[in-house]
A and B are shown apart, each in its own frame.
Chain A
Amino acid sequence: MQNLTQRLANPSRFMAFSAVALPMLALLAGGCLAVGIYMAFFASPADYQQGQTVKIMYIHVPSAWLGMMCYGLIALSSFGLLVFRHPLADVSAKAAAPIGAAFTFLALVTGSLWGKPMWGTYWVWDARLTSVLILFFLYLGLIALRTSMDDEALASKLTAVLALVGVVILPFIKISVEGLSIPWLGIEIPSWNTLHQPSSVLRAGGPTIHRSILIPLLVNALGFTLLFFAMHLKAMRNEILRRRALALTMAEVNRAQRLAAGTSAQEA
C-alpha cells in the first residue's frame, strides 16, 4: 500500500493509472447501481409500517455513509499533504470536498423527504439529522476557505489545517448532538434533543433489518461507493489537467515576456 501511494505520487504515472482505472470503476459502479436499483424497486418488499417510502432508504443511507467517509478521506489527504507533502494529497482533498458536500446534501434532502410521511413534517431536529447538517456546514467551511484565497498553495495548506481541526472536533460534535452510551465504562451522555423535547420524536426501533432489505441496501451502498471513487478519480484528473494547463500558460507568458524584453533590448 505504502509502495502504491509512493509510486502514484508522480502525476504522469497517476494519470496513466487512472486512465485505465476510471472506466473500469465507472463500469463497475454502473453495473452495481443497476442491480441495486432493480432490487430496490422490484425485488425488495415494502415495509409493513412505512409502505413504499422505505425505498428512499436505498439512496439515503449510502449518501449519508459517503458524506461521512468522504470527510475521513479529506482528513487523510490533508494529513498526507501536511506531513508527507504527498503531491497528490492536495489534489485529492480539493476534489473530494464538493463531492462529499453533494452527498451530504443528498442525505439531508432524502432524509427530509422521508421524514414527511414518517414524522408528518419535512424537518425534525432529530439527533442524527442534526449532526449530518453540521457535517454539511463543515464542508461549506472547507470549500469557502479554499475559494477565498488567491494563493492556491497556501489555500491548500490552510484548508488542510481546517480539515484536521474538523476531524478532531467532529467526534465531540457527534457526541454532544447524538449522545453517547458506554455501559461498561459507566458513561451515559444524553442526546441533545432529549434535553429539550423528551421522546417527542417517534423512531420505532422496530425489528432489525431483514435480509430482503439488507441485501439490496448493501448492493446500493457498494454501487454508491464505487460511484464516489469514480467521480473522485475523474475530479482529480481534471484538477491535475487544470494545473498543467495553468503551468503551460504561465510558461508561455514568461517566454513571450522574455522575447519582448529581448527585442526591445535590441531596438535600444
Chain B
Amino acid sequence: MRSLGAIVLRDLRLAMRDGGALGTALGFYLIVVAMMPLAVGPDLKLLARISAGVLWVALLLSALLSLGRLFESDYEDGSLDTIAVAGPPLELVVAGKAFVHWLTTSVPMALAAPVLGLLLNLELSVMPFLALSMLVGTLAVSFLGAIAAALTLQARKSGVLIAVMVLPLYVPTLIYGISAVAIATTPPGSPWPSFLLLSAISVGSVVIGPIASAAALRYQVQ
C-alpha cells in the first residue's frame, strides 16, 4: 500500500510540475466543443439535444491525447524497469498511474464540462448531474485506457493505434453516461438506473484495467 501511495505522489508531483498535459487536454476539449455549433448551426434547441453527447465524445477524444504518455516517459528513461524490479506488484503500479491520470486529466475535464455545456445550451438543472456522471464514468476511461497505453508501448504510431483499440471499449461508458444525462433532461423517468450501470462499468474497469495492463507490461519490461 505504501508503494501505491509513493507512485501516486510521484506521478502527481510530475504532473503538477510538468503541467503541460492538462492544458493541452482542456484546450482541445474547449475547441472540439466550440467547433460543434459551427458545424451543425446555432439552433439552440438542436444544440441542447445533442449537448450531452458532444460533451462526452469530446471528453473521450481529449482523454486519448494524454493516454499515450501514461507509461511512455517512464519506459523511455528506464524508471518503469526499476519500478518493476523494485517489488510492488505491477497491478498496483498501473492502478496508481491510472488513478493519477484520472485525477489530473479526467476530473478537471469533468468539472469543466458544465461550463462548456453553457456554450451548447445545456439545461442548468442537469449540470451537477452531468459533472457527477462524468466523474464516475471517466474512471473507466482512464483505467481501460491504461490497457491500450500498456499494449502500444513499443508500437509505431501509437497515438492512432490507441484510439482504434480503446474507443470500442468505451461504448458502454458512452451509452450509459449519455443516457443518464438524457433521461435527467427529460423529467419522466429516473436517471439513476443508467447512472448505476455507468458506475458498475467503471468499477469493473478499475479491476480489469490494472490486471490486463500489468500483463502487457510484464512482457515488455526487465
Contact = CB atoms under 8 A, between A and B. Distances in A.
A164 B151 contact: no
B164 A149 contact: no
Interface residues of A, number: 30
Contact of A145 (B155, B171, B215): B155
Helix, strand, loop or mixed for chain B's interface?
helix
A140 B163 CA distance: 11
B215 A161 contact: yes
B68 to A, nearest CB: 13
A230 to B, nearest CB: 29
A186 B68 CA distance: 41
B179 A195 contact: yes
Contacts of A148: 152, 155-158, 161
B65 to A, nearest CB: 18
A165 B164 contact: no
Contacts of B157: 148
A169 B169 contact: yes
Nearest to A135: B168
B212 A138 contact: no
B71 interface: no
Interface stretch (A46-54, A112-120, A171-179, A202-210): A171-179
A158 B161 CA distance: 13
20 contacts: A137-B164, A137-B167, A144-B165, A145-B151, A148-B158, A149-B154, A149-B156, A154-B154, A157-B219, A158-B151, A161-B147, A161-B216, A162-B151, A165-B169, A165-B208, A165-B212, A176-B171, A192-B175, A195-B179, A195-B183
